[in-house]
Amino acid sequence: MKTSLYTSWGNKKAVPHIAITPANVSAVSFSDVQHSTIAYGQGRSYGDVCLNANGNLFDTQRLDRLVDYDHRKNLITCQSGVILRDLLLFLTTKNKFVSVSPGTSQVTVGGMVANDVHGKNHHKVGSFGNHIHSLTLLRSDGRILECSEDENTEYFKATIGGLGLTGLILTVTLRLKNVENNCIEIKSIKTKDINQMLELFEETDADYEYTVSWLDMYSRPQKGIFSCGNHASGEIKCSSSAAWKKTIPINAPEWLLNRLTNKVFNQLYYYKSNSRAHDVASYQSFFYPLDKIEYWNRLYGKRGFYQYQFVVPYEEFLSVYTEILNIIKQYDQPVYLAVLKKFGEIKSMGMLSFPRAGYTLAMDFPSKGEASLKMFKAFDLVVMNAGGAVYPAKDARMSHDIFKHSFPRVEEFSMYKDNLFCSDFWRRVEQDV
Ligand SMILES: Cc1cc2nc3c(=O)[nH]c(=O)nc-3n(C[C@H](O)[C@H](O)[C@H](O)COP(=O)(O)OP(=O)(O)OC[C@H]3O[C@@H](n4cnc5c(N)ncnc54)[C@H](O)[C@@H]3O)c2cc1C
């Protein structure tokens, strides 16, 4: 076992002892592990749920095999290290698609289960965990548990959204959806303020499977671009933009991305978009626009960045949004990227799942040390008072109080946690659990 530097997307770092999981699941063993351990997928979580400084990491990169595919039953079984990008390349040749996808395809199936990720279609289908048929879980005592809604049900519900703490997920069987081609029909609408944006979410709910809105947080009031889409019908094929993929090779100097360049970029993006555009594009362009630039997180420079994502009930959103804007102004921090989505009423499977009915706003802030942390604490108070929650997948600093408020079933969850499994995130929030 060696040590190595592992990072998460916001550029949090840890030097753990590394065990690369063998490709053969029956060969995965905990006998060498002398420290606490946690699985590491692609490190696309922004904070520290996938890190374990001074402990052990199970890097799942070699658990990358498709195990079984049943076209008629709409089921696929794969190892947990399979990357969504590869899974979709296979599925779209069969006119199938995953039921839920996050905003990047560079994530593993295990990572999507452990954060119970959501997509742009929560209002229609719920989160990723609502489409898991079954999974196998390796516990540190060597037991392999088959988990589903009928078998080891409590472990199933603890593992979905369980932040990797219930053991190592070996394989996952997913329920798929049928599509006719690899294209999405997209409608984009420029919005003049947050009220118009919220009206559009309500108006398009029934007719569109996917809805999302980008906000320009520099403009007053905040303009934006609202997009909605459906899988296209018919025998058409859309070319993917993989051919012009770019990479940011190193961390950018701090002057490159700053308040001014970001403001100009936002204005150009807004004014260059048509005010009501219809388009048919590949699923990659619609779901994963940021994947076109590999390691775009390096644009934030060495200090990295934070994302703050919260959800609050629908009726609380406007007042929470106003208070959050005031706090941002008070702390004078730039918001480089902001994305709003609507969660529907479908209940999440996991004991610690983040998605619940309401609006969810995600905002990227360059890391400004203490000033950023103080501002997030002020956000926390507003979100908690409104009965909301903060998303662990995007977090590197929430306190145990905020965690407990956000996830009231944490005590029940801890009965199914594996004692050998721990992360930097869990060490921070576990007190009093
Ligand atoms: C550009 C971008 C857009 C995003 N958009 C969204 C979005 O729209 N919706 C959303 O919900 N999230 C979104 N995310 C967050 C991302 O989807 C999640 O953080 C996801 O879990 C990352 O997967 P990963 O494979 O990189 O896992 P990691 O980040 O490496 O790990 C995440 C968690 O999964 C656990 N884990 C990983 N593999 C296993 C395993 N085999 N067994 C047990 N536990 C395991 C880890 O221990 C950790 O707790 C986005 C991230 C980025 C960078």
Annotate 314-336 with DSSP letters as a single string: HHHHHHHHHHHHHHHHHHT----
Q: How far, in Å, is the centroid of ligand 1 from the Cα of 112? A: 5
Q: Whose CA is nearest to atom 36 of ligand 1?
A: 111
- Ligand 1 pocket residue status of 126, Cβ below 6 Å: no
CA distances from 180 to 88, 93, 95, 126, 230 (A): 14, 10, 6, 22, 11
- Ligand 1 pocket residue status of 168, Cβ below 6 Å: yes
Looking at the domain that runs over 66-179, which CATH code has it been given?
Answer: 3.30.465.10
Q: How far, in Å, is the centroid of ligand 1 from the Cα of 195? A: 31
Q: Whose CA is nearest to atom 32 of ligand 1?
A: 111
- Ligand 1 pocket residue status of 340, Cβ below 6 Å: no
Q: How far, in Å, is the centroid of ligand 1 from the Cα of 193? A: 31
In the chain, what are the domain boundaries?
66-179
The pLDDT tens digits for 222-249 are: 999 999 999 999 999 998 765 446 666 6
The pLDDT tens digits for 165-177 are: 999 999 999 999 9
CA distance 433 to 419: 14
Strand ranges, E, within 259-353: 276-282, 293-294, 305-312, 337-343
Q: Whose CA is nearest to atom 44 of ligand 1?
A: 164
- Ligand 1 pocket residue status of 290, Cβ below 6 Å: yes
pTM for the full model?
0.95
Q: Whose CA is nearest to atom 35 of ligand 1?
A: 164
Measured in degrees and rounded to the nearest 5, phi and psi for residue 380 equal: -50, -45
- Ligand 1 pocket residue status of 44, Cβ below 6 Å: yes
Asked if 382 and 327 touch (Cβ cutoff 8 Å), the reply is yes
- Ligand 1 pocket residue status of 9, Cβ below 6 Å: yes
Q: How far, in Å, is the centroid of ligand 1 from the Cα of 225? A: 26
The pLDDT tens digits for 150-195 are: 999 999 999 999 999 999 999 999 999 999 999 999 999 999 999 9
Q: Whose CA is nearest to atom 22 of ligand 1?
A: 44
- Ligand 1 pocket residue status of 60, Cβ below 6 Å: yes
The pLDDT tens digits for 340-390 are: 999 999 999 999 999 999 999 999 999 889 999 999 999 999 999 999 999
Token pair 């040749």 is at which residue?
A: 93
For residue 156, what is the enclosing H or E element?
Answer: helix 153-159
Nearest CA among 153, 147, 140 for reference residue 171: 147
Q: How far, in Å, is the centroid of ligand 1 from the Cα of 321? A: 26
